[in-house]
């Protein structure tokens, strides 16, 4: 076989592997639900030994783990025993941080059911989650608390992997008040307060979310407040910095402007808006934000933006984009001041 023919076969096989890429999140979710990472953390085991621990079918489980090993999640030795890998460590229930809950919600049938209708969304130019489930994502979660809890934990788990480096990428001056708008359990705000002495913080999110916040630690005593509320209506007043991390991209432009307007009306004189999201580059290179943007398309009305998109959005909300700060994560900090 000539080199050109080999290259053609390699290209076909690579494309076929990508076509079947949807199997990876489902296989990973299966292994996590069967607690395979936690079991293997105690030592290598065969699929048969794992099946005895979790009640699975040994032959089927072996096929799943063998596939995951090709993605560096677990490693199979010559004796048929599976081992942990650095990637698999991130899916342990006790990992800090852990991607376990994020992987579980990303491959949940509620999410995959909408993703399978991506074509319809592209043709209609609209989110299809409501077509599949009868209501929008946030209304669906209000009626399905078990999924809502899984969703919130998954998003928090993903955020926890990048919070420290994002907090370290911006200089918050001592004496400033940082308002974390839609900040979930307060992971980012906690990192900000830990890394910037003299800064105070206010966490805002839905009542049931802030009820499980992570700010109540001795070293942060007296420097924080957790507030339940609806950021589409109002946010705590008097802050110097309003941080909106991975929130705007979940909402339509109309609702995004409502959030930004609420922040502009509430902030102290000279205050700044800090939107933490992916800023999509205009090139053909891989960027996690492009994947995230496509993942959200069938589920929520929002989207990831380019630099020009942020400039236009800020201008409509009465802000001027002053700078974009890259961080070691895929997210950037988009800073704005009032016009």
Which pair of structure tokens corresponds to residue 294?
């496509």
The dihedral built from the CA positions of residue 201, 188, 183 and 152, taken in this order, carries a sign that is: negative
The pairing of beta strand 200-205 with beta strand 224-228? parallel
- Extract long-range pairs of 55-62: CB within 8 Å, 24+ residues apart: 61/34
CA distances from 55 to 27, 61, 244 (A): 17, 10, 43
Q: Please confirm, yes or no, whether 213 is among the known catalytic residues.
A: no
Q: Which residue has the tokens 């979790």?
A: 54
Contact indicator for 134, 114 with CB cutoff of 8 Å? no
Which pair of structure tokens corresponds to residue 241?
């910095």
- Asked if omega into 313 is within 30° of 0 (cis), the reply is no
Catalytic residue among 39, 196, 213, 249: 249
d(CA 214, CA 164): 14
For the chain, helix (H) and strand (E) counts, in that order, are: 18, 10
- Identify any residues that bridge with 76 across adjacent strands, giving them in sequence order: 82
Catalytic residues: 249
């Amino acid at each position: 076989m000539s080199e050109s023919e080999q290259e053609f076969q390699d290209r076909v096989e690579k494309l076929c592997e990508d076509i079947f890429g949807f199997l990876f999140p489902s296989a990973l979710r299966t292994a996590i639900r069967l607690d395979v990472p936690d079991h293997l953390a105690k030592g290598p085991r065969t699929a048969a030994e794992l099946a005895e621990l979790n009640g699975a079918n040994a032959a089927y489980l072996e096929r799943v783990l063998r596939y995951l090993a090709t993605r560096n999640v677990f490693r199979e030795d010559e004796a048929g025993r599976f081992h942990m890998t650095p990637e698999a460590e991130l899916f342990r229930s006790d990992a800090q941080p852990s991607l376990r809950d994020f992987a579980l919600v990303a491959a949940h049938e509620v999410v995959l059911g909408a993703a399978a209708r991506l074509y319809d969304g592209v043709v209609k130019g609209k989110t299809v989650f409501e077509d599949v489930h009868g209501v929008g994502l946030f209304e669906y979660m209000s009626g399905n608390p078990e999924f809502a809890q899984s969703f919130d934990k998954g998003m928090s788990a993903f955020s926890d992997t990048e919070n420290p480096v994002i907090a370290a990428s911006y200089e918050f001056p001592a004496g400033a008040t940082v308002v974390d708008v839609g900040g979930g359990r307060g992971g980012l705000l906690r990192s900000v307060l830990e890394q910037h002495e003299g800064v105070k913080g206010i966490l805002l999110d839905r009542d049931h979310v802030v009820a499980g916040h992570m700010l109540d630690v001795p070293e942060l005593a007296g420097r924080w407040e957790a507030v339940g509320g609806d950021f589409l209506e109002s946010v705590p007043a008097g802050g110097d910095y309003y941080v909106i991390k991975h929130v705007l991209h979940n909402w339509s432009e109309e609702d995004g402007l409502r959030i930004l307007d609420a922040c502009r009306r509430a902030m102290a004189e000279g205050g700044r808006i800090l939107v933490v999201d992916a800023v999509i580059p205009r090139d053909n290179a891989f960027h996690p934000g492009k994947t995230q943007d496509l993942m959200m398309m069938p589920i929520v009305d929002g989207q990831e933006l380019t630099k020009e998109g942020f400039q236009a959005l800020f201008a409509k909300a009465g802000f001027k984009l002053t700078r974009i700060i890259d961080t070691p994560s895929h997210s950037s900090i988009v800073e704005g001041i009032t016009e």
